[in-house]
Amino acid sequence: MSRTSRAAFGRQLLSFGLVGGVGLVVDIVIFNTLRTTVLEPHYVQGGPVIAKVISTSVAIIVNWVGNRLWTFRSQRRIGRRTDIVREGIEFAAVSLAGALIAVGCLWISHYVLGYTSVIADNLATNVVGLALGTAFRFALYRWWVFSARRMPAATTATAAAVTPETVSR
């Protein structure tokens, strides 16, 4: 990997982390608000898992916008609506698979291991699940959903000309 490609990869990884950080804040705030109020486990069987599904769904939308417009902007599909729809479906599929990783960690911790406190639920889903899901999502977003190899030749040449350096000038 050349120095230029390492730098571009580093910038992409950093912007992915920043977008993910915003999504994480949205996820944590919504999860904990629901988990400690209307979906509190004493009132709703499966409340923590339902809260996580809702909070993750909202965070996926936030991450879709951020990653499409910033992290992978030079690789995203522009043009035909069918390409954009396919990209959105692929993004949602990868995001949901990553969310299942976080929900799975929460489910195992809460229902199999019996760690039922708010802190344990947050550690399971927002630390362990987040770390595993993030690595999974970044790899698949980069190499499948927003892959430059899937772009038409003319779009690839245009995307190569629009780098972060040329945008900031």
pLDDT in tens, 17-28: 999 999 989 999
- pLDDT, one tens digit per residue, over 123-142 is 998 899 989 998 999 999 98
If you search the block for the tokens 């109020």, which residue do you land on? 37
Does 153 have pLDDT greater than 80? no
Within 8 A by CB and 6+ apart from 128, the residues are 105, 109
Residue 167: per-residue pLDDT: 42
pLDDT top residue among 75 and 40: 40
Quote the CA–CA distance of 148 and 159 in Å, as a whole number: 9
Does 75 have pLDDT greater than 90? no
pTM: 0.71
Closest C-alpha to 90, from 59, 112, 68: 68
Query: Are 76 and 68 within 8 A, CB to CB?
Result: yes
Residue 6: per-residue pLDDT: 87
Phi, psi of 52 (to 5 degrees): -70, -40
Average pLDDT over residues 84-93: 87
Quote the CA–CA distance of 41 and 35 in Å, as a whole number: 7
Q: Average pLDDT of the chain?
A: 85
